[in-house]
A and B are shown apart, each in its own frame.
Chain A
Amino acid sequence: MKIKILKLKDWLILSLMGLMGFSSCHSTKELTAPEPEPKPTPKPREEIRLMYGVPTMDYHISGRVKDAKGKPVEGVAINMLERGLNATADTIYGDQDNIRRYLKKNEVRTDSQGRFVVNAQDLPRESVRVLVRDTDGKANGEYKNQLLEVPVDNVDRSKANGMYQGSFIKVMEIELEER
């Protein structure tokens, strides 16, 4: 809460300074080059040039988690992982306190129908990793964790413009294996 209040105060001061015609930080407006034409069909990722800023894409990954009998599984934790994390289905390497906080902050959980929705914004990628974890012990059954590599294909680039590269929508059916 305290952080939220500080951030709100930050925004209010910046807004007021802006109204008075003051900038509060090093302005990069003067460094902005003329914006290139939008590229609705980008080149392969390794050829994408950084213009000014960082390219981003929206990721909407939704679906349903069920067991081998087709029964929905509630309470499963789903995360779309940062690219830099070194992870397996059961371990993410690094400071564990930090990892726990990160996972908690970014996870969604399946509802009683096993449904989930992940909304994220990240760099354009060729694939993303979705971590599926059973973290509620014996409640709802016990299942093995999974780390799924999801190809990023059929990106909607109808609204791509400059740094914004479009949106990726994926609907998944995830079947869990009992431990």
Chain B
Amino acid sequence: MSWKSGKGYRLRITGYVGEVFDFRQRVGLELQRGLRKNRERLHPLRSLFWECTLRCNMHCRHCGSDCRVQPEVPDMPAEDFLKAIDSLTPHIDPHKTFIIITGGEALLRNDLEVVGLELYRRGYPWGVVTNGYLLDARRLESLMEAGMHSITVSLDGLQDEHNWLRQHDGSFGKATEAIRLLAAQNEVLWDVVTCVNPHNIGQLAVFKDYLAGLGVRSWRLFSIFPMGRAAHDPDLQLTDKQYCGLLDFIMACRENDSRIHVSYACEGFLGDYEHKVRDHFFYCRSGVEVASIRCNGAISGCTSVRSNMDQGSIYTDDLWNVWQNRFQNMRDRSWAHKGQCKSCKVWRYCEGNGLHLYDDNGELLTCHYHRLTANQQ
């Protein structure tokens, strides 16, 4: 009997949860559940997002899909952020905590290299998420000199589709050039992310070939969750059928195309697609392994989580103390066992989806698993 799903024999088990998984997949899910419970108690801080600015050089259709953009919020002074970092350093191994600098558009900060070098000197690996518009050869060189470990560039389809989503006619050209620069070096880890929507889903295969031609080796695909500007825009939301098609596409790429490693984003329990469209089982790491410092100093889990779940502020609290002693609602999701989750047969593995998908009233806005099962019926 082969362990691998879909090859050789598959021992399928319908357990008390009423869902049909491979035996191997079921064991993996149970182990992941045990790991999650363990990590909730250990809460090792593995990733720290810094929302370094809310300024942006674009006006993307879907932005504010994960935060309310308030450009009147000033950039956090670098020394404030580094002071918060210094409160962590005595308690952790910096080499194991990855600092991810995001925004707005992070490259709008002219002191990014100064901060990056300070992080590097303290032993923290760090990376940047960017739309690529400002990433020319000179800037890439200076970021690398400052010790940048990795970078993610957004590219949301071929020219028309990308520029449509970004609402900026020059953005495709600039992002593509940035990707070419990254492909020409081998010192910094990098990948490309794409927000899949009804305008670009039909061209994913062609787009994949384009990316492979640019030298992209790692590609992550996101669906746009219904927040902010995206909440009521039907042009941005995939149908259930399209969503299943996206996952099928990813699965096929992983099985058949060795040029480029394709993955789905981290969100959502995906039922039978678990561990087939990404390299790990789902679990929401917000507040368990992931924290963030927002532009206004608020401390939270993932930056995509709404501000009503903020745990404190670096201006009034010690960051390490907050990480150690708060985040209870992120480390114990029993409060989310309500509504559509109450009777859900896969609650055990999901525990209420990603926290960024809850509105200000604590209600879950969307369930990936239900989308998939609804489409199968």
List A residues at the B interface (Cβ < 8 Å): 3, 6-7, 9-10, 13-14, 16-17, 20-28, 30-34, 36, 49-54, 56, 82-85, 94-95, 98-99, 101-102, 122-123
Which of B4, B122, B148 has the most A CB atoms < 10 Å from its CB? B122
Which of A22, A49, A85 has the most B CB atoms < 10 Å from its CB? A22
Contact with A along B142-157 (1 / 0, CB 8 A): 0011011110000000
* Chain A residues with CB under 8 A of B147: 50
What are 19 A-B contacts with C-beta separation under 8 Å? A10-B38, A17-B31, A22-B275, A22-B280, A23-B279, A24-B280, A25-B280, A26-B279, A28-B189, A30-B218, A31-B191, A32-B189, A50-B147, A52-B188, A82-B90, A83-B122, A84-B85, A99-B90, A123-B123
Cβ-Cβ contact count across A and B, 8 Å cutoff: 126
* Chain A residues with CB under 8 A of B188: 50, 52
Shortest Cβ gap from A127 to chain B (Å) = 13
Contacts A24-B35, A25-B280, A52-B149: A83 and B123 contacting too (C-beta < 8 A)? yes
Shortest Cβ gap from A36 to chain B (Å) = 7
Tell which of A13, A16, A56, A95 touches B95, judged by Cβ atoms closer than 8 Å.
A56
Contacts A52-B187, A83-B121: A27 and B280 contacting too (C-beta < 8 A)? yes
Q: Judging by beta carbons under 8 Å apart, are A17 and B28 in contact?
A: yes
Q: Judging by beta carbons under 8 Å apart, are B279 and A102 in contact?
A: no
Q: Judging by beta carbons under 8 Å apart, are A14 and B35 in contact?
A: yes
* Chain A residues with CB under 8 A of B34: 9, 13
Q: Quick one: which of B1-43 are within 8 Å of A by CB?
A: 3-4, 24, 27-28, 31-32, 34-35, 38-39, 41-42
Shortest Cβ gap from B212 to chain A (Å) = 14
A123 to B149, CA, bound (A): 14
Q: Judging by beta carbons under 8 Å apart, are B121 and A49 in contact?
A: no
* Chain A residues with CB under 8 A of B35: 10, 13-14, 17, 24
Q: Quick one: which of B118-163 are within 8 Å of A by CB?
A: 120-125, 144-145, 147-150
Q: Count B-side interface residues using an 8 Å CB cutoff.
A: 49
Shortest Cβ gap from B188 to chain A (Å) = 7
Tell which of A10, A34, A36 touches B42, judged by Cβ atoms closer than 8 Å.
A10
Q: Judging by beta carbons under 8 Å apart, are B39 and A21 in contact?
A: no
Contacts A24-B280, A31-B150: A50 and B144 contacting too (C-beta < 8 A)? yes
List B residues at the A interface (Cβ < 8 Å): 3-4, 24, 27-28, 31-32, 34-35, 38-39, 41-42, 46, 85-87, 89-91, 95, 120-125, 144-145, 147-150, 186-191, 217-218, 261, 266, 275, 279-281, 318, 320
Query: Of all chain B residues, which has the CB nearest A93?
Result: B86
Shortest Cβ gap from B251 to chain A (Å) = 16
A3 to B42, CA, bound (A): 7
Shortest Cβ gap from A37 to chain B (Å) = 12
A31 to B28, CA, bound (A): 24
Q: Judging by beta carbons under 8 Å apart, are B95 and A54 in contact?
A: yes
Top 9 nearest A-B pairs (CB, nearest first) are A102-B90, A33-B186, A30-B261, A27-B279, A31-B189, A84-B122, A23-B279, A50-B147, A13-B35
Shortest Cβ gap from A125 to chain B (Å) = 9
